[in-house]
């Protein structure tokens, strides 16, 4: 998968402003038979007092867990007040119910302190007592169906292009993905695929029919031979995206991204779209399965700060932390960095020179903190001063030297 396009970046930044903290963790992932691989977790969470309800996402086979649809999904969930984690997994291991179950166990076994969910829930900012919600694409979507087998507090799952029979590999996974072979109740699943999916559908004249059959079987719900929309009163069920609903005219395996060779993002899936197959519609259904009052839209002190974060975070030597803010036009930037005890350790005033813009006119500003620094946790305060007053951003990050 390629890096995010300007379209996806624009969507990520289009929500009301909030401050986002990014954290990188590792866990013991599956090598196909045992939890022996060191794999990554990217957490994005609201800046401020937690704990926050937890959302987990997994991208598709061979996709980078830092890319594909993960950034826009995570940003959407953080804007709703969630801690959102994107999980890396080894998608190249042999592909059958046994290996998939092992992957799901390494990811979601709450009894193992080295599993991904244990690492996430160990953070004081994560409130796993509320249960979790989960989403995933393709093989990542299949893993969402298996997660509840090992972490029985999955409140709801949203699967993108996830079927029970892989036609190119001639692999039948129905014994573990259908309702009789898993513990996730059908009322907790919402699954969406494209009618031209040739991974979990048979290429040719029966393409849509075979994709529909997979949706019916995994969701445990049938609405007739020619149905494209099939939901229960509680919103669980399935949807088959038609070719006429997507921009490029082909609702394939990566209908939500445009196609599997790009990350352009289909306008029918990206916010603010609200079709039954759109991202925001399905994530809203997911979020509705958290206890009342546990979530809320995150807002910023100022209306023209769109995003602020530090990368890489933590900044492990020799890398230096880069402070990025996306805001309205300013003339100068004042950056002050404090150590964990609140002592100022660095301050700089500099002309505000944008390195780019996002659709809508907001500017992107960056500053690399290259001065000598010790290992530790730091907080940065950025003041942008310009014709519209002062724009303020607060950030938290770590340095490892």
Mean pLDDT by 10 residues, the chain (401 residues): 37 47 94 95 85 94 91 90 95 89 96 95 89 96 98 96 96 97 98 96 93 98 95 95 94 89 81 91 91 49 67 90 88 89 87 80 88 92 81 87 93
Same domain, 212 and 311: no
Residue 158 maps to a domain: yes
Same domain, 134 and 189: yes
Domain that holds residue 370: 305-400
How far is CA 277 from each of CA 64, 74, 97, 100, 157, rounded to the nearest angstrom?
23, 18, 27, 26, 14
Pairing of strands 356-357, 363-368: antiparallel
Same domain, 214 and 321: no
Structure confidence by residue, pLDDT tens digits, 146-172: 999 999 999 999 999 999 999 999 999
Residue 272's domain is classified under what CATH number? 3.40.50.1820
Rounded CA separation 259/279 (Å): 16
Same domain, 206 and 113: yes
Tell me if 372 sits within 8 A of 401, measured CB to CB: no
Number of domains in the chain: 2
Residue 300 maps to a domain: no
Closest alpha carbon to 307 in 32, 19, 83, 24: 19
pLDDT at 11: 40
Same domain, 313 and 231: no
Rounded CA separation 357/180 (Å): 51
Token look-up 């149905």 returns: 227
Task: Tally helices (H) and strands (E) across the chain.
Answer: 8, 20
Backbone angles phi, psi at 134, to 5 degrees: -145, 145
Please identify, among 228, 255, 287, the residue that sits at the C-terminal boundary of a domain: 287
Residue 299 maps to a domain: no
* Residues near 333 by beta carbon (within 8 Å), at least 6 away in sequence: 325, 349, 350, 351, 352, 365, 367, 382, 383, 384, 385
Same domain, 123 and 23: yes
Please identify, among 219, 254, 287, the residue that sits at the C-terminal boundary of a domain: 287
pLDDT at 299: 36
Rounded CA separation 75/17 (Å): 11
Same domain, 313 and 254: no
Structure tokens at 221: 């719900």
Tell me if 154 sits within 8 A of 133, measured CB to CB: yes
In sign, the C-alpha dihedral spanning 21, 352, 326, 256 is negative
Rounded CA separation 324/352 (Å): 12
DSSP reduced 3-state for 377 = strand
Residue 280 maps to a domain: yes
Same domain, 313 and 281: no
Residue 367 maps to a domain: yes
Please identify, among 287, 313, 336, the residue that sits at the C-terminal boundary of a domain: 287
* Residues near 305 by beta carbon (within 8 Å), at least 6 away in sequence: 17, 325, 326, 327, 391, 392, 393
Same domain, 114 and 259: yes
Q: Where are the alpha helices (DSSP H) in 86-153?
A: 97-108, 116-121, 139-150
Rounded CA separation 103/149 (Å): 12
Token look-up 């609702």 returns: 251
Structure confidence by residue, pLDDT tens digits, 357-394: 766 667 889 999 999 999 999 989 898 887 767 888 88
Same domain, 121 and 252: yes
Residue 298 maps to a domain: no
Same domain, 268 and 317: no
How far is CA 345 from each of CA 271, 294, 338, 340, 375, rounded to the nearest angstrom?
40, 36, 5, 10, 13
Residue 76 maps to a domain: yes
Residue 28 maps to a domain: yes
Same domain, 283 and 392: no
Chain center to CA of 268? 18
Residue 315's domain is classified under what CATH number? 2.60.40.1930
Structure tokens at 302: 């100022």
């Amino acid at each position: 998968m390629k890096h995010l396009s300007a379209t996806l970046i624009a969507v990520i930044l289009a929500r009301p402003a909030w401050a986002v903290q990014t954290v990188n963790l590792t866990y013991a992932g599956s090598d196909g038979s045992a939890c022996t691989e060191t794999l990554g977790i990217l957490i994005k969470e609201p800046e401020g007092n937690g704990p926050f309800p937890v959302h987990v996402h997994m991208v598709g086979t061979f996709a980078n867990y830092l890319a594909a649809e993960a950034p826009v999904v995570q940003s959407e969930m953080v804007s709703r007040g969630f801690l959102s984690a994107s999980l890396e997994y080894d998608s190249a291991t042999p592909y059958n119910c046994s290996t998939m179950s092992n992957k799901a166990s390494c990811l979601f076994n709450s009894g193992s302190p080295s599993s991904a969910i244990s690492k996430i829930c160990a953070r004081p900012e994560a409130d796993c007592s509320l249960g979790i919600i989960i989403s995933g694409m393709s093989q990542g979507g299949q893993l969402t169906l298996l997660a509840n087998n090992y972490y029985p507090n999955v409140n709801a799952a949203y699967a993108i292009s996830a079927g029970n029979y892989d036609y190119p590999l001639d692999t039948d996974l129905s014994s573990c993905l259908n309702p009789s072979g898993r513990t996730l109740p059908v009322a907790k699943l919402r699954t969406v695929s494209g009618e031209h999916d040739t991974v979990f559908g048979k290429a040719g004249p029966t393409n849509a029919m075979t994709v529909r059959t997979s949706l019916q079987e995994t969701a445990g719900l049938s609405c007739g031979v020619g149905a494209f929309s099939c939901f229960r009163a509680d919103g669980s069920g399935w949807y088959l995206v038609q070719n006429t609903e997507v921009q490029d005219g082909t609702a394939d395996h990566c209908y939500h991204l445009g196609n599997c060779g790009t990350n352009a993002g289909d306008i029918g899936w990206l916010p603010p779209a609200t079709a039954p197959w759109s991202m925001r519609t399905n994530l809203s259904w997911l979020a509705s399965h958290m206890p009342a009052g546990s979530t809320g839209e995150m807002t910023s002190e100022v209306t023209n700060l769109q995003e602020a974060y530090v990368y890489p975070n933590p900044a492990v030597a020799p890398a230096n932390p880069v402070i990025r803010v996306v805001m309205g036009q300013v003339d100068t930037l004042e950056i002050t960095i404090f150590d964990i005890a609140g002592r100022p350790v660095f301050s700089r005033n500099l002309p505000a020179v944008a390195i780019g813009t996002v659709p809508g006119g907001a500017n992107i500003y960056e500053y690399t903190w290259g001065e000598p620094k010790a290992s530790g946790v730091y907080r940065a305060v950025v003041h942008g001063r310009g014709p519209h007053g002062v724009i303020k951003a607060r950030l938290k990050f770590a340095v490892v030297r």
